[in-house]
Amino acid sequence: MTLERTGVDRGAQPVRITDVAALAGVSIGTASKALNGTGQLRDSTRARVKDAAEKLGFVGDARARALSSGRTYTVGMITTDSFGRFSIPVLLGAEDALSAGQMAVLLCDTRDDHVREAHYLRSLAARGVDGIIVTGRSADARPPIDVSIPVVYAFTPSTSADDVSITLDDEAGSAAVAAHVLTLGRSRVAVVTGPSRHRSAERRVAGAASVLGSRLVTPPLFGEWSERWGRQAVDVLARQSPDVDAIVCGSDQIARGVCDRLRELGRSVPGDVAVTGFDDWDVMALASRPPLTTVDLRLEELGRVAGQALLGLIDGGAAASASVAPALVIRESTAGP
């Protein structure tokens, strides 16, 4: 049972569990167990506590609290991403912010299925949730959902500028990593990234190019988000631009493939070629040989910001779209011996 006061000022002083415990002549712990139906207590003790709670009008029960406030203290989180590498940290950050705001979170995994999404939206409406967070696996914008309660889009923005979308600042992250490469004294840099149709690939290239300028020795190589593409890109570069001294990659998977292939070709990282990733995905960035300098997406922070924005909207305040800047993480692939 949640035993907090609900809100700052709902009229008279709310009754507290301490009041209930005092009236029943038991400890707070015992009162809590009695009201929650947990623990080993005598029936008579349980009954005495419940009587006291009733006499005082104690509202510890979330359902009662919901009825009295017209709110359900429940928020829906809709994700299209069953795999979860991107959406799960976002969900966790949002859940952190929302549970601090006494909100319970209903998880709705739509699996990229429009029918399933529509079903969930009806179900959330029927449950009277106070708001919805929408997330997904892609940074590409998606059409807004059609509901009349507060909604915040996290990581995956809405196509509507009227909506509140909290996104990742890919350009800033990529600019930071490119600037780091220049501070190492590298001057013949290549960029290897994912498919050009992906907003994140395109924006990461833009961020890096803005910093690298003429130090970019070849047009960005667009391919796929895979280690294999990283290995293939090294072969392309070995023919086209054999004097490259740094490779800025659009993901950790690509960077790991780049490192593997460079090693196979007898080129040292970072001695001959500095390599950077993007994502700070531990199983890639730390398992890479050498471990990768990369960009931490700070997705939990992004989720937290989204959760706080939603709490603000639910409380009747305003919230604006924002982007969260990722953080440079320096490891051996640029800073090694």
User: Which residues of this protein are in contact with its own copies, per CB under 8 A?
Assistant: 1-4, 6-8, 10, 32, 36-39, 59-63, 72, 74, 77, 82-84, 88, 91-92, 95, 99, 104-107, 109, 121-123, 125-128, 146-148, 226-228, 253, 283-284, 287
**How far apart are the two ends of the chain, measured CA to CA in Å?**
56
Minimal distance, residue 180 CB to its own copies, in Å:
26
Minimal distance, residue 188 CB to its own copies, in Å:
28
Are 241 and 205 contacting, i.e. CB atoms less than 8 angstroms apart? no
The edge-to-edge listing of strands for the beta sheet with 274-276 is: 221-222, 189-193, 246-249, 274-276
Minimal distance, residue 148 CB to its own copies, in Å:
5
Minimal distance, residue 147 CB to its own copies, in Å:
6
Are 305 and 240 contacting, i.e. CB atoms less than 8 angstroms apart? no
CB nearer to its own copies: give 77 or 177: 77
CB nearer to its own copies: give 146 or 243: 146
CB nearer to its own copies: give 242 or 316: 316
Residues 224, 216, 241: CA angle, nearest 5 degrees: 75
CB nearer to its own copies: give 170 or 227: 227
Minimal distance, residue 74 CB to its own copies, in Å:
8
CB atoms under 10 Å from CB of 40, counted, come to: 5
CB nearer to its own copies: give 136 or 207: 136
Phi and psi (nearest 5°) for 294?
Answer: -155, -170
Nearest to 166 by CA among 298, 329, 328, 327: 298
